[in-house]
C-alpha cells in the first residue's frame, strides 16, 4: 500500500476533529477541529438532544481542508462560501488509509438514497428511557444481562423504538439506521456498513449467540434489514468515492480501514487493548473505560459492557464503560455563567487553586445533562449544596464543580471495582478537563490512582487504527510505539484528608437527591 500519511476523524457532539499522522515517524503532523465554537445541540423538549448529520459532514470538510493546508505548509485554511480552497490534492494523494471515531449511541435514519430522514437522536438524549425499561421487563432482566450484557436502556435500539411509535410515517421510510460514524463512513464511501462493536453499543448484538439479537428485534418489531452489513473493525470498510474526493480534496479510492465509537477509540488512542488496562476521558461527558478478558456486567446496568475494538469470538475483549454526562459541559457552563467574563480555562484553573480542597463544604452534583446511566437512568439535574452567603464566592462554586465531577468518577469506579475491574493506573489524553491541575490531582487523590497523560487525541488514534486495519502496522504496539507520555500524577500523601471527607458528604447529598 502506498501513501505517506494516515487520516483520522473524530465525530464529536461539540466538534469534528481531524488528524494527519506520518506513517514512518508515527507522529501527528497536523490537527484541526471545526467549528471553533461548540456545535449546536437541538433540544426542543426537556431531555431531548439532536444534531443534523449533515452538520457533521460540513464540519468534517472544513477540518479536512485545514489539516491538508497545514501539511502543505500553510498557516491555516480559509474558505469561500462553498468551502473550497486552494488545491491540496498533492497532500490528499499521499493518504494511505482513513479511520473514523464517533460519538456513541446516536441514531441516524436514512432513506434509500442515503439521505437523513430526521436529525440524529444523539447520546445524551433521554427520551427513550421508558422504551428500554419496558424492553428489559418484557425480555427479562437475566436475558438482557446474559445476552446483551446490559439493559436496553437508552441506547440506539430504544431510540429507534421511540421513532417507530411517535413518527410512524417517517419510520416506514427508513431504509437503514446507522450510528454517527457509520453515516460519515457512508458519506466518504457511498457504502453503508457497521461493526460488531457498533451493534453492541446499540444493544443489537447477542454476545451469547454471537449474532444480532433476534429476541430484541422481535420485541421491538424491527426488521433486520434496517441494520447495516457487518464489517470487521480493522478491515477495509469502503473506499473514498468520487464525490467525497472532490468535496474533501482527497484522492478517490483511499480505503477506510477502521471505525469505532469514541470511547473504545479513546482507549485505542492510549494503547489500551488488554485486560486490566484503563483509559479515561473528560470532554463534554466523562468516561472511565476498562478492558476485561471475561464477560462481566453490572446487574443494574449502571456501567455498561460493549465489544472492544479487538474483540473477536475467539479472543474476549470487552470494554467496561462508566459514562457521566455532566463533565466538561458543567465546567464550560461555570466558565460562561459564573467566572468573570473573558477568563480562559487556564486562568480559571489558576484562580480557583486558592480555594481549599473540599471548598469548605460547598459541593455540586454534576448531573444536569440528561438521564445518567450510573444513576439507573435517573435524571436528577445539577444541584449545588453547602453555600454560605458570608464565605462562598464564585471561585468556590467553580472548584466545587470540578470536585463534583471527580466525585462522580469515583462513585462509578467503585461500581466497576465491584465487577472486578480494579483501577491502579489511568491513561488519559492531555486534553479537555485533564488540562486542569485541580481536576487531575483531585482525581488521583480521591481514587488513589496514578494518572498518566499522553500526547494524543481521538482523531490521531483513529488514524493509527486505520494503519492497523490497512496492515501498515503489524500490531497495536507497533502502531503506538511513538506515543509520548507527557506527565505522571501520583496521589498526594494527604489524599485521605479533606477531599475524602468532601466525597463522603457528596455521597450523602447524592443519596438524598435519589430518594
Q: Flag whether pLDDT at 377 surpasses 90.
A: no
pLDDT confidence of residue 147? 96
pLDDT at 82 over 70: no
**Do the domains spanning 1-103+232-269 and 105-178+196-230 agree at the CATH topology level?**
yes
The dihedral built from the CA positions of residue 306, 311, 316 and 322, taken in this order, carries a sign that is negative
Average pLDDT, the chain: 93
pLDDT at 150 over 80: yes
At residue 86 the predicted structure's pLDDT band, cuts being 50, 70 and 90, is low
State in words which class domain 271-455+484-515 has: alpha beta
* 13 burial via Cβ count (<10 Å: 0-12, 13-18, 19+): buried
Q: What pLDDT sits at residue 210?
A: 95
Q: Residue 355: what pLDDT?
A: 96
Percent of the chain at pLDDT > 70 equals: 96
| Average pLDDT of span 365-387 | 93
C-alpha cell at 257: 480501514
Instruction: Report the distance separating Cα 221 and Cα 199, nearest Å.
Output: 17
Distance separating alpha carbons of residues 120 and 122, to the nearest angstrom: 6
What is residue 89's predicted lDDT score, i.e. its pLDDT? Answer: 67
Is the alpha carbon torsion for 183, 292, 463, 314 positive or negative?
negative
Question: Measuring CA to CA, which residue among 188, 233, 197 is closest to residue 465?
Answer: 233
Contact 262, 102 (CB under 8 A): yes
The pLDDT score that the predictor gives to residue 443 is: 96
Q: Report the pLDDT value the prediction gives residue 73, as an integer from 0 to 100.
A: 87
Domain 105-178+196-230 of CATH type 1.10.357.10: no
Strand pairing report for 229-230 and 256-261: unpaired
* The pLDDT of residue 233 is above 80: yes
Mean pLDDT within 430-455: 95
Q: Does position 290 have pLDDT exceeding 60, yes or no?
A: yes
Across the range 141-156, mean pLDDT stands at 95
Instruction: Output the nine-digit C-alpha cell for 73.
Output: 505548509
pLDDT above 90 covers a percentage of the chain that reads: 87
When pLDDT is cut at 50, 70 and 90, the band that residue 339 belongs to is very high
Q: What is the pLDDT of residue 80?
A: 42
pLDDT class of 76 with cuts at 50, 70, 90: very low
Hey, which residues does 259 pair with through a beta bridge?
A: 100
Spell 422-444 as b/e; 16+ CB within 10 A means b: ebeebbbbbbbbbebebbbbbbb
Distance CA 515, CA 504 (A): 17
Q: What is the CATH number of domain 1-103+232-269?
A: 3.30.420.40
Q: Are 429 and 269 in contact (CB under 8 A)?
A: yes
Closest by alpha carbon to 61, among 75, 81, 37, 38?
Answer: 81
Half-sphere exposure of 252 (CA within 13 A, CB side): 5
Report pLDDT for 285: 86
**Three-state DSSP string of 60-116:** HHHHHHHHHHHHCCCCCCCCCCCCCCCCCHHHHCCEEEEEEEECCCCEEEECCCCCE
Whether the upstream peptide bond of residue 35 has omega within 30° of 0, thus cis, is: yes
pLDDT of residue 77: 43
Q: pTM score, two decimals? A: 0.87
Please report, for the chain, the start and end positions of each structural domain, with discontinuous segments joined by +: 1-103+232-269, 105-178+196-230, 271-455+484-515
pLDDT tens for 468-487 read: 999 999 999 999 999 999 99
Give the pLDDT confidence of 380-429 residue by residue, as tens digits. Answer: 999 999 999 999 999 999 999 999 999 999 999 999 999 888 888 999 99
Q: How many other C-beta atoms can be found within 10 angstroms of the C-beta atom of residue 113?
A: 6
**Is 260:196 a contact under the CB 8 Å cutoff?**
no
Amino acid at each position: 500500500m502506498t501513501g505517506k500519511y494516515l487520516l483520522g476523524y473524530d465525530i464529536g457532539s461539540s466538534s469534528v476533529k481531524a488528524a494527519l499522522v506520518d506513517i514512518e515517524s508515527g507522529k501527528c503532523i497536523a490537527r484541526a477541529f471545526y467549528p471553533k465554537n461548540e456545535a449546536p445541540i437541538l433540544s426542543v423538549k426537556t431531555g431531548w438532544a439532536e444534531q443534523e448529520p449533515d452538520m457533521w459532514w460540513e464540519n468534517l470538510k472544513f477540518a479536512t481542508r485545514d489539516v491538508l493546508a497545514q501539511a502543505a505548509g500553510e498557516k491555516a485554511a480559509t474558505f469561500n462560501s462553498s468551502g473550497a480552497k486552494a488545491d491540496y490534492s498533492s497532500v490528499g494523494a499521499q493518504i494511505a488509509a482513513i479511520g473514523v471515531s464517533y460519538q456513541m449511541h446516536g441514531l441516524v435514519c436514512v432513506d434509500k438514497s442515503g439521505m437523513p430522514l430526521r436529525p440524529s437522536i444523539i447520546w445524551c438524549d433521554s427520551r427513550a428511557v421508558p422504551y428500554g425499561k419496558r424492553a428489559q421487563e418484557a425480555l427479562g432482566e437475566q436475558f438482557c444481562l446474559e445476552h446483551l450484557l446490559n439493559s436496553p436502556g437508552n441506547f440506539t435500539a430504544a431510540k429507534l423504538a421511540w421513532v417507530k411509535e411517535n413518527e410512524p410515517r417517517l419510520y416506514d421510510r427508513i431504509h437503514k439506521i446507522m450510528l454517527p460514524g457509520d453515516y460519515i463512513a457512508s458519506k466518504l464511501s457511498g457504502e453503508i456498513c457497521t461493526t460488531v462493536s457498533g451493534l453492541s453499543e446499540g444493544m443489537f448484538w447477542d454476545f451469547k449467540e454471537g449474532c444480532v439479537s433476534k429476541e430484541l428485534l422481535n420485541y421491538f418489531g424491527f426488521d433486520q434489514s434496517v441494520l447495516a452489513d457487518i464489517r470487521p473493525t480493522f478491515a477495509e470498510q469502503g473506499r473514498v468515492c468520487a464525490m467525497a474526493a472532490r468535496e474533501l480534496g482527497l484522492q478517490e479510492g483511499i480505503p477506510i480501514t477502521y471505525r469505532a465509537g469514541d470511547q473504545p477509540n479513546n482507549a485505542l488512542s492510549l494503547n489500551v487493548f488488554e485486560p486490566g488496562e484503563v483509559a479515561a476521558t473528560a470532554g463534554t461527558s466523562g468516561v472511565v473505560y476498562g478492558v476485561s478478558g471475561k464477560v462481566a456486567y453490572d446487574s443494574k446496568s449502571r456501567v455498561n459492557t460493549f465489544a472492544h475494538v479487538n474483540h473477536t469470538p475467539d479472543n474476549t475483549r470487552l470494554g467496561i464503560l462508566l459514562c457521566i454526562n455532566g463533565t466538561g459541559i458543567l465546567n464550560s457552563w461555570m466558565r460562561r455563567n459564573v467566572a468573570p467574563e473573558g477568563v480562559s480555562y487556564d486562568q480559571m484553573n489558576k484562580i480557583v487553586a486558592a480555594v481549599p480542597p473540599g471548598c469548605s463544604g460547598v459541593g455540586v452534583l454534576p448531573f444536569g445533562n440528561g438521564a445518567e446511566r450510573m444513576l439507573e437512568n435517573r435524571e436528577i439535574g445539577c444541584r449545588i449544596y453547602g453555600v454560605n452567603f458570608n464565605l462562598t464566592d464564585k471561585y468556590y462554586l467553580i472548584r466545587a464543580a470540578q470536585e463534583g465531577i471527580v466525585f462522580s468518577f469515583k462513585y462509578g469506579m467503585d461500581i466497576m471495582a465491584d465487577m472486578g475491574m480494579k483501577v491502579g493506573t489511568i491513561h488519559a489524553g492531555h486534553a479537555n478537563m485533564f488540562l486542569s491541575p485541580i481536576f487531575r490531582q483531585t482525581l488521583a487523590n480521591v481514587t488513589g490512582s496514578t494518572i498518566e497523560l499522553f500526547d494524543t487525541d481521538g482523531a490521531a488514534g483513529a488514524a493509527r487504527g486505520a494503519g492497523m486495519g490497512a496492515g501498515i502496522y503489524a500490531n497495536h504496539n507497533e502502531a503506538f510505539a511513538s506515543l509520548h507520555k507527557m506527565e505522571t500524577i501520583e496521589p498526594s500523601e494527604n489524599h485521605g484528608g479533606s477531599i475524602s471527607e468532601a466525597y463522603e458528604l457528596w455521597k450523602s447529598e447524592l443519596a438524598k437527591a435519589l430518594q
